[in-house]
Amino acid sequence: MKRKAKARKPKDPKAKEKKAKKPKVTGSAGPLSGRLSVATHTSKRERIRRENQDSLDEELEMELDDVRIARYRDQPPAAGDIERARYFTELFRLQGELVKLQDWVVAQNLKVVVIFEGRDAAGKGGVIKRITQRLNPRVCRVAALPAPSAREESHWYFQRYIAQLPAGGEIVLFDRSWYNRAGVERVMGFCTKEEVEEFFRTVPDLERMLVRSGITLVKYWFSISDEEQHFRFKARIRDPLKQWKLSPMDLESRRRWEQYTKAKEAMLARTHIPEARWWIVEGDDKKRARLNCIHHLLSQVPYQDVPHPRVVLPKRVHNPNYLRGPIPDELYIPDIYANRTR
């Protein structure tokens, strides 16, 4: 026998609405206190994804060949957010201009000094890396001095930095500089108040002397928000490839954020002079900061294309009596990756 179908009850239109409603979690901070919203989780995941992607992009920049780079040059920057394709397009174009600037510096026997200062994790190193990436290290070099030795501590404070200044036809990028005295040394108590005051009295005159001697001096301060620095420090702690970037001094700088702010404000107020002014780079967006800084640097040193003679590869000389001698196998490194695909 067939069973009779049971009569269905009419659906209550408000049932779905009642079912969808969830009790609010309340606390001292209001609804959802003590837990992150879905939007916050999504935002955090997206930022972590972008951070990881940036590390991969760094490797990709090294891998792209000159043929592809040539296709990207001479294209204008995009408005709004810098997407990856547009970022690479503009980066390679700017790096091509840096090569032209390098040629001009050599041809005109110029001396260029660029100072990079700023908050920890604000992106100074990333910009320096992109500037030097395709330049001749004999022309453009980085001066990143360690803590002074006991002997150097007895020197005139500026002495070890003066030794790093460029000769004609050179560019020197200071990854931190004599401004350590106005920042980390002052905040961490590595110098006296009198030494700080003497520094502020000396710096303007010193920099005017450098400019009068023919040095082009450009000074950048990399700014970063409190929240963004916190995020980048946490990312470095979790990344074994970047943990080396976190020194005990960096961690302490996080705790003394407000002291560093006051020190920075005093430094900018007392060392911003017409002959060697400060330029501030907003560093929360890494890619935009790199492009903006390189673009601005190119505007600070007027340059032109330097004509080069056509390069002709000479023919190899073949000597009929030449014999290449055997090379012992033990001189070769092991071919670990033979017959392995990437």
pLDDT tens digits, 200-245:
999 999 999 999 999 999 999 999 999 999 999 999 999 898 899 8
Query: Global pTM?
Result: 0.77
How buried is residue 241: exposed, middle or buried, by Cβ count under 10 Å (0-12/13-18/19+)? exposed
Measured between alpha carbons, how far is 71 from 262 in angstroms, rounded to an integer?
46
**Which residue has better confidence, 153 or 22?**
153
pLDDT at 62 over 70: no
pLDDT tens digits, 188-199:
999 999 999 999
pLDDT given for residue 30 in this prediction: 40
pLDDT given for residue 83 in this prediction: 82
- Output the six-digit token pair for 274: 């017409």
CATH code of the domain made up of 108-286: 3.40.50.300
pLDDT tens digits, 121-175:
999 999 999 999 999 999 999 999 999 999 999 999 999 999 999 999 999 999 9
Residue that has been written with the tokens 């920042």 in this structure:
183
> Is the alpha carbon torsion for 70, 75, 77, 81 positive or negative?
negative
Binned at pLDDT 50, 70 and 90, residue 68 comes out as: very low
In one-letter notation, the amino acid at residue 41 is: H
Binned at pLDDT 50, 70 and 90, residue 82 comes out as: low
pLDDT tens digits, 268-319:
999 999 999 999 999 999 999 999 999 999 999 999 999 999 999 999 999 9
Domain boundaries, the chain: 108-286
**Which residue has better confidence, 98 or 56?**
98
**Which residue has better confidence, 14 or 227?**
227
In one-letter notation, the amino acid at residue 65 is: D
Pairing, β 170-175 against β 140-143:
parallel
> Is the alpha carbon torsion for 166, 172, 176, 179 positive or negative?
positive
